[in-house]
Amino acid sequence: MSVESQRVAVIGAGTMGNGIAHVFAQSGHEVSLVDVNAAALERALSTIDRNLDRLVAKEKISAEDKAATLARLKTSTEMHGAVSDANLVVEAATERLDLKLKIFEQIDASAPADAILATNTSSISITRIAAATGRADKVIGMHFMNPVPIMKLVEVIRGYDTSDSTTSKVVELSRQLGKIPVEVNDYPGFVANRILMPMINEAICSLHEGVAGVAEIDEVMKLGMAHPMGPLHLADFIGLDVCLSILRVLHDGFGQPKYAPCPLLVNMVTAGKLGVKSGEGFYVHTKGSKDITVAPAFS
Ligand code: NAD
């Protein structure tokens, strides 16, 4: 597989899927972006359009580059057609094991036998996902960071049976996208979320116990630890439902109470306060604006 021009199917057009489709299309690959929800596809296209406009305005790409990128991008609500001629599939659907197992069974049945099947999962076992297919050697974790067009890291996760050849292709492809791949092994949360999520959970517990308010907790971590964004703001950005799913994977995978999700996080997700994607989490977020205010529940 030459990394120059792949046919890539991206499954899931939410927070991550639109960014993944964007970087592949901008790097010269033909992309089919698939979602079961047509409205998510429309939102994804308008986000990509807006993000490309920003790059044009900053003179990082030309208007022609933008048009060529969009011309390489198709959308569909039907997975079979999109993956049947793909040489790479990157799954970025909702972080739920049952859903991912079902999607990988379907992709395995539809994609060419030599296609690599990657997942952008934040925490779910690559080995477990690979076992739902008949090609465990070609299944790998390709964990992009949010926002995908900006963040450099791709955590490349080898499952138990992932081959050297699959790993080296994905590493090479990540570099061609302008990213920096880092190889890690398949344990709950991998490296990024094994370290990040307990910090976010501890910030939520600190809020829950009244140690400090939302803005104060974030300010301490920004000023004191030189983090560009406080942990509660970051949680809103990631999606509180995604944070909760990852903590549950860590808790189940290691069986240690230190990973138990804070009850406040569970309540917020149950109430539909998911952060940026729902408009409210620890902060209130207004579409199209970077300004945030602390949510009424915490002010
Ligand atoms: P999201 O909730 O924003 O989007 C998920 C999308 O998947 C939705 O649009 C949904 O309609 C779609 N979907 C659900 N079932 C589907 C199916 N059967 N076929 C096609 N599409 C389907 O979620 P997200 O934040 O983009 O997360 C996607 C994946 O990326 C998850 O595995 C998550 O853990 C991982 N991830 C998230 C972040 C983050 O910061 N949000 C960072 C790195 C990795």
Do 58 and 108 reside in the same domain of the chain? yes
235 in the same domain as 202: yes
* Residue 245 designated active-site: no
- Averaged pLDDT score across all residues of the chain: 96
pLDDT at 5: 81
pLDDT of residue 3: 64
Looking at 185, 202, 224, which one is the last position of a domain?
185
Query: Token digits for 196?
Result: 């990040």
Which of 160, 185, 210 is the last residue in one of the domains?
185
Choose the catalytic residue: 110, 122, 125, 174.
122
Active site residue 193: yes
**pLDDT of residue 76 exceeding 70:** yes
Residues 110, 193, 201, 206: which is the catalytic one?
193
Q: Based on the fold, state whether residues 118 and 75 are members of the same structural domain.
A: yes
Ligand 1: does its nearest atom lie under 6 Å from the Cβ of 127? no
Whole-number Å distance between alpha carbons of 42 and 14 = 10
- Specify the CATH number for the domain of residue 77: 3.40.50.720
Q: Is the pLDDT of residue 1 over 60?
A: no
Cα–Cα distance, 167 to 164 (Å, whole number)? 5
178-197: b or e for each residue (b if 16 or more CB lie within 10 Å)? ebebbeeebbbbbebbbebb
- Answer whether residue 125 shows pLDDT above 70: yes
Q: Cα–Cα distances in Å, from 205 out to 38, 58, 189, 212, 260?
A: 37, 40, 20, 10, 11
Mutate to test the pocket of ligand 1, among 242, 278, 285 (most ligand atoms within 8 A of CB): 242
- pTM equals 0.92
Averaged pLDDT for residues 270-290? 94
155 is catalytic: yes
Probe target for ligand 1 pocket from 36, 43, 94, 154, with the most ligand atoms within 8 Å of CB? 94
pLDDT of residue 264: 98
Q: How far apart are CA 139 and CA 198, in angstroms?
A: 27
Specify whether 122 is catalytic.
yes
Segment 97-123, tens digit of pLDDT: 999 999 999 999 999 999 999 999 998
Q: Smallest Cα–Cα separation from 147: which of 232, 234, 49, 76?
A: 234
Does residue 278 line the site of ligand 1, with CB under 6 A?
A: no
The CATH number covering residue 223 comes to 1.10.1040.10
158-171, pLDDT tens digit by residue? Answer: 999 999 999 999 99
Q: Look up the domain containing 77 and give its range.
A: 7-185
